[in-house]
Structure 1
């Protein structure tokens, strides 16, 4: 009886797709639009509010893709930021 119960659960799990072969991800073939900068800016990210340990940067030049290093955090310092004339931001 116990063996039948376990086999029954295994059969239901196999039918629902648990542990079976997965469908191919659409991420492999999807093409998202690139993020384009609507501002010319440079931001330095820090590990905490004291702004002593730099953890990443972001450089954005008008109508280009942003260049990022390290990680973004909740403690940014905007070194400079200027609006781009005629540029529109595009996001994925």
Structure 2
């Protein structure tokens, strides 16, 4: 009886999405693209993202110019090096 109950709970959990994050495998939502379009750079910088703490494998970049939207390639990660960082005089908060 206990095994049947546990099996039933596992099936219900999987039906309600407890089995993983399905959103990460889909294309970015329309809301994400609208949100990205609203960003305006208030400083100039260039960021290189790496796969791990050894900083040997580049996985993405991000560049920002004053008054423009950020330009991104690849993916972001917790391991990055930022170059620049000068604030835009007319756009700084």
Q: Same fold (TM over 0.5)?
A: yes
Q: Which has the higher contact order (CA 8 A, sep 6+)?
A: 1
Which residue of the other structure, out of 38, 41, 62, is the alignment partner of 2:42?
38
Show the 5 A alignment for 1:10-89.
34-88=38-92
State how far apart, in whole Å, the 1-side matches of 2:78 and 2:50 are: 8
How far the C-alpha of 1:57 sits from its partner, in A, is 0.2
Gaps of at least 5 residues in structure 1 are 1-26
CA RMSD of superposed structures (Å): 2.0
Bigger radius of gyration among the two: 1
How many correspondences in the alignment?
61
Checking the alignment, whether the CA contact within 8 Å between 1:38 and 1:88 is kept in structure 2 is yes
TM-score with structure 1 length normalisation?
0.59
How far the C-alpha of 1:73 sits from its partner, in A, is 0.4
Checking the alignment, whether the CA contact within 8 Å between 1:37 and 1:88 is kept in structure 2 is no
Name whichever structure is richer in helix by fraction.
2
Q: Which runs of 4+ in 1 moved over 3 A?
A: none
Gaps of at least 5 residues in structure 2 are 1-29
